[in-house]
Amino acid sequence: MTNVTPLVSDVLLGAAAAFVALAIVVLYRVVKGPTMQDRVIAVNVIGSNTVVILALVAAAFGEPGYLDVALVYALLNFLMSIAISKFTVERGGVI
Amino acid sequence: MTPFELLIVALAAGGVFFGFVAAVGVIRLPDLYTRAHAASKSDTLGAVLSLAAVALVFGADIATVKAVFLVVFMFVTNPTAAHAITRAAYDQGIEPWSKEDAEDDTNPTAAADEADGTGSLATDGSGVDTEGGER
């Protein structure tokens, strides 16, 4: 499908591995954040890192089907943040 | 290495750099609001740069359209989500961090009237500091 050289494929896989490491580092704030909103923001960062990881793996392996998974995951990630921020306020007028 | 491949590598490296900045901000900054600042801006830029690299890798294809949709979607929704969460936190009465909190040893900011008392928050701040010193 794609005419990606092995060097570019390795670079994209290395970038995906770096994003995995960054997501594991951000997991510290999910465990330890003092308030619930800290944890939600950290989970949001991990979710957007997951979208980037899926897209980079799709480009490195030349499989465009993974981009659909990334698109659905980005939608669900946004919906999770909005739902939590609306249900933690009584009147719900956050946006 | 052609200039096209060099552009892809540069975009991926920029994405990893801004993802690193966002992770450092989320771990090290003292407050919910400052952490949301780091998460919304740096992480959005890192994601957009990486997804631009992905969109360049797929040539003239339907996958490029999907990658460009991902770029636009991340660019719109990621700051919106951080803004909504931060506004919900402000409506719940979580006070922003101020300079007096840095000079006090105890940290009475983040939800002093929630389940965690000030004692655990003080250990939280010192724990973050010692953990940064070890790195």
Averaged over A44-52, what is the pLDDT? 94
Averaged over A22-29, what is the pLDDT? 93
Rounded Cα distance between B117 and B108, Å, is 9
In this complex, which of B12, B20, B91 lies closest to A89 when CB atoms are compared? B91
For chain B (length 135 residues), average pLDDT per consecutive 10? 89 94 92 90 94 90 90 92 90 81 58 44 43 36
Check residue A63 and give its pLDDT. Answer: 87
Least confident of A2-6, A11-15, B30-34: A2-6
DSSP states of chain A: -----HHHHHHHHHHHHHHHHHHHHHHHHHHH-SSHHHHHHHHHHHHHHHHHHHHHHHHHHT-THHHHHHHHHHHHHHHHHHHHHHHTSSS----
- The answer for A 9-28 residues in CB contact with B (under 8 A) is 11-12, 15, 18-19, 22, 25-26, 28
Regarding predicted confidence, which is higher, A20 or A4?
A20
Check residue B101 and give its pLDDT. Answer: 73
In this complex, which of A8, A29, A35 lies closest to B5 when CB atoms are compared? A8
Which percentage of chain B shows pLDDT scores above 70? 76
Whether the pLDDT of residue A24 is over 60: the answer is yes
Quick check: helix, strand or coil at residue B113?
Answer: coil
- Domain boundaries along the sequence of chain B: 3-116
